[in-house]
Structure 1
Amino acid sequence: RAEERLEHLNSVLKAIRNVNQLIVVESDQDRLLRKSCDILLKSRGYDATWLGLLKDDETFATVVGSGSGENISRFCERVMGGEPPLCIKNALTQKTAPVVMEKSRMCEDCFFKNACAGKEVAIIQVEHAGRLLGVLAVLSARDVVIDEEEKGLLKEVAWDIAIGLHNTELEKGRLRAEEQIRRYNEELEELVHERMARIQELERQQVENEKLAAAGRMAARIAHEINNPLAGIKNSFLLIKDAISEDYPYYEYVGRIEKEIDRIARIVRQMFDLYRPDREESREFPVDEAIRDVVALLEASRREYKATLEVDTGDASALVVMPEALLRQILYNVLQNAIEASPPGGVVRIAVALAEDVLTLTISDQGSGIPEEVGHRIFEPFFTTKSGLTTGGLGLGLSVSKNIVESLGGSLDFESAAGQGTVFNITLPFNRM
């Protein structure tokens, strides 16, 4: 009998040792509960073991068990469903533990009474630092008595499991804190990246503005110096033009000379436009009328490039208040650029929208597109991709337009893909009458 008792206590001590080893290595709460049940079942030879983890309202959040085949599974399901047996309810209210239930008065109406027949049940509170974490229950083998010594050992097992549960909570808290720190770091990095990008963009805009202002002042000075002799050349040419008869051998050069003089005059005007220290006053006008006027001015250019202009003014007949001449100049420059980029027979589309005091102009062409490698330079003064054309542009149209748009508080950008044309988007704030 003494040998049996010693073997019995050794098995309990073995269970304690195995649980001690488990709580050191296992950080997952569910696995800790399940493996603890398995250890008690195998090391001690109990018929069934059961662990329930409580929520703050003392309902069960997790229930696991080992042994007794399907009985323990049904037991766990009933407890999780909010139907714990009376012995479990009673053990939760006890201040001393463990509790060995007297089945004669506790099990008469219990759904688990047949599985418990002829066996003792010990129920131990699992608590840490005065906080009730859950309940451990063991069902002894038939005709095995759970004495005071075994109760003490079971209480130690419950205490070890409580430490393990507490450690898993600490681990979860640590992981949550690490995840929160990681998210904060990502948000901080994103914020720093956004701020740096904004600073870089502002620095780029400042450099561009300084470059544009310097180029504009230089262009205006050069244009002024060219304009005076050019006016003299043109006036002199007009005096001798009518004196040359059509049968003169070199009469064909008269038209060419006049055309080239006009081309130089256009270039000079572009150079003057690059530097505009004064802003035009706003006035009331219908947007669709301004668009039609610009389209009419570009009719000769449209015919030269054999392009088609399609205009969708929508509700642009509404009266707006903004600098009309500047709008016309922006539209003229961007439309001229789209026409020159179009292949013969290509379509240039102008779409207009008015919404929430913002005018949106969308101008698209069917040209070859803007190469990606030069896209970032497209608004630079004197940059052009049209060196093969005969219009003699200096690459100032888009630069001038962007400068005007941004001075009015709007934006000018583009979307383009090689071989798929280009779409310019212009947004401008305005006042309604």
Structure 2
Amino acid sequence: MDAATSARTDPAGEVVDICRDLLRIDTSNYGDSSGPGERKAAEHVAALLEEVGIATTIHESEPGRTNVLAHWGGGSTNGPTRDDTLLIHGHLDVVPAEASDWQVHPFSGEIQDGYLWGRGAVDMKDFDAMVLSVVRARQRAGRVPARPVLLAFTADEEAGGHRGAEPLVRDRRDDFAGVTEAIGEVGGFSTTVRGRRMYLIEAAEKGMAWMRLTARGTAGHGSMINRDNAVTRLATAVARIGAHEWPVQLTPTMQTLLAAVGELAGEEATPANAEALVAEFGPAARMIGATLRNVTNPTMLGAGYKVNVIPTEATAHVDGRFLPGYEDEFFATLAELCGEGVEIDFVSRQPPWETPYDGRLVAAMEQSLLAEDPDAVVAPYLMSAGTDAKHFGRLGIRTYGFAPLRLPDDLDFTGLFHGVDERVPVDALEFGARVLDRFLELA
């Protein structure tokens, strides 16, 4: 086999080039239909799959908001052949980036100092590239998995998936017939605890409630006494919400994770020392710490049109995230914090989910990671933000986050999500492709 053929059949052989090409396609999602959309990236992904003989279909919820589906493996590329299809999903959109804030242009796909830079390098065109590199290499080498696989590259995840995974699940339900398990983003990456690399597999997600609060009162002149001021009523509610101390509440996933950390730290994990154990993750504690409790953050305020006019209405937006199993308690407490005269409407409301950390797929993820990094520890964790897994979970699919990356100890990886100078180590991309290739043998 010559070098060129070997590179084409190496699961990591194309991953960097594919990721660079994807990063150079601007798919910024502004939360509405004002951005470039995902069409160009979706067509590029479809072409990469079609080139190696994998049939694709493209679906749009509206012009430019584009999803790609492809059935692969299991003896057929035309659809699932039995009731144990594996879904592998990744989104094509990215959050916007202001080029003047970056060291390199966010859509240049430059490689510097061993890192590939660009918006989407960790969220999540890196995983899209890993999947495409592995699938293309396997297809060329005739190493098609016996288990049926559904590949899904989606639109609009960064705005809740309402133009992407949600309409796919609603309108293309037949494509998901037979799907029992899934892997997607924000899991399988490494962090370091007490000198040991620990790979975190996402097995749960907090629920999401993007809320608009509205208070109404009596309009009037700003110079006069007004006991029915909408701004005052709203501001009081917002202050209570922002200052509220939510209690530590450990879900089964976090109990398992903290037990693993406690073993490394030499102490038993309890709710009382949960925050101290999470601190062992260093910079990653910023994200993991948010999974110990519900969170409510006021993010936007709006009222009035002139300084001497008391308005009739005032509004605020709050980003609420609630733990699996604590939804009723969360909304009851929120209503108390708002008080009388403040209405709650939802910009987006999505449920939490938690998948048991057991079974063949979990074993496949753990074994594929440990084969590449034998001295590591693997454990589940609860994701503080949201992914498309919320939508696929509504179909009863057991879902995990597994986008494997072996990362340097000093990299603040979680700070790169939606951050300036987003970048991923080149060797981590190649590591991830090798792990995914092995995973497909075991899954």
More helix by share: 1
Q: Which has the larger radius of gyration?
A: 1
TM range (shorter): under 0.3
Higher relative contact order (CA 8 A, sep 6+): 2
More strand by share: 2
Task: Please report the TM-score for the alignment, with normalisation by the length of structure 1.
Answer: 0.19
